[in-house]
């Protein structure tokens, strides 16, 4: 598997890889791509606000959002690669004979490592939702449907990434660190899925009026 998968592969090739009979990229990497697209729509909507005299008061806010959403977009693509790279270690740990010395410690390390990328994806999606809210409130109204699409993609990516945290953490039945990760994701989802749904409801009302 080549490094920087999403940075080098076309969308067609990446989707073909996901659909093929290989263990990676899988759901985690796909989550990163979807989240990156959500952040990209936020970036685009802010870019189309900058320079528009009607939204002059929001100019600095939009410039800041462009910068932050671009970083989120790039980071989530990187996280897609990081998620894929974590899988071989976890797969190898699963296959260790039960009488292997320190097997539990080796497996726990690999499973917790596999939680890192999807957990950060969840956090990136939360930040993107915060930025999309500002674009909804202050940005170019002609891009409001793109804001809504960005929210939907971030919601999907956040849920999908969380699923990958849960499956990996759930394999460690009596590990306090795993329980902490699950709790952290629970709290983020509780806060941001509610927030995303609220934003989406407002966007939908605006779209139906425009």
- The yes-or-no verdict on residue 83 having pLDDT over 70 is yes
Ordered structural domains, the chain, with CATH: 23-209 (1.20.120.680)
Cα 109 to chain centroid distance, Å, stands at 23
Structure tokens belonging to residue 8 = 């080098």
The Cα 124–Cα 188 span in angstroms is: 11
pLDDT of residue 73: 97
- State the DSSP H helix or E strand holding residue 21, giving kind and residue range, or none if neither: none
Question: Is residue 1 very low, low, confident or very high in pLDDT (cuts 50, 70, 90)?
Answer: very low
Q: What DSSP string describes 43-87?
A: HHHHHTTTT-GGGGGGHHHHHHHHHHHHHHHHHHHHHHHHHHHHH
The Cα 125–Cα 118 span in angstroms is: 10
Mean pLDDT, rounded, of the chain: 93
pLDDT of residue 22: 81
pLDDT of residue 6: 63
Closest by alpha carbon to 189, among 177, 181, 200, 178?
181
- The yes-or-no verdict on residue 74 having pLDDT over 90 is yes
pLDDT digits (tens, 9 = 90+) for 16-57: 988 888 877 888 999 999 999 999 999 999 999 999 999 999
pLDDT digits (tens, 9 = 90+) for 179-190: 999 999 999 999
- The yes-or-no verdict on residue 2 having pLDDT over 50 is no
Q: Give residue for tokens 């073909």.
A: 16
pLDDT of residue 4: 52
Q: Are the C-beta atoms of residues 112 and 177 closer than 8 Å to each other? A: yes
């Amino acid at each position: 598997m080549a490094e920087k998968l999403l940075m080098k592969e076309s969308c067609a090739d990446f989707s073909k890889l996901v659909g093929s009979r290989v263990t990676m990229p899988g759901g985690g990497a796909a989550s990163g791509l979807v989240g990156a697209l959500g952040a990209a729509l936020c970036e685009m909507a802010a870019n189309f606000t900058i320079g528009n005299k009607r939204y002059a008061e929001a100019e600095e806010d939009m410039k800041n959002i462009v910068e932050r959403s671009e970083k989120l977009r790039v980071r989530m693509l990187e996280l897609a690669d990081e998620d894929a790279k974590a899988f071989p270690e976890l797969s190898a740990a699963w296959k260790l004979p039960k009488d292997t010395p320190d097997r539990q410690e080796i497996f726990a390390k690999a499973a917790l490592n596999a939680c890192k990328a999807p957990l950060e994806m969840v956090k990136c999606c939360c930040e993107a939702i915060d930025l999309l809210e500002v674009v909804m409130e202050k940005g170019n109204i002609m891009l409001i449907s793109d804001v809504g699409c960005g929210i939907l993609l971030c919601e999907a990516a956040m849920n999908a990434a969380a699923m990958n945290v849960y499956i990996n953490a759930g394999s460690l039945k009596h590990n306090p660190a795993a329980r902490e990760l699950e709790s952290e994701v629970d709290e983020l989802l509780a806060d941001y899925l509610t927030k995303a749904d609220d934003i989406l409801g407002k966007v939908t009302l605006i779209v139906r009026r425009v």
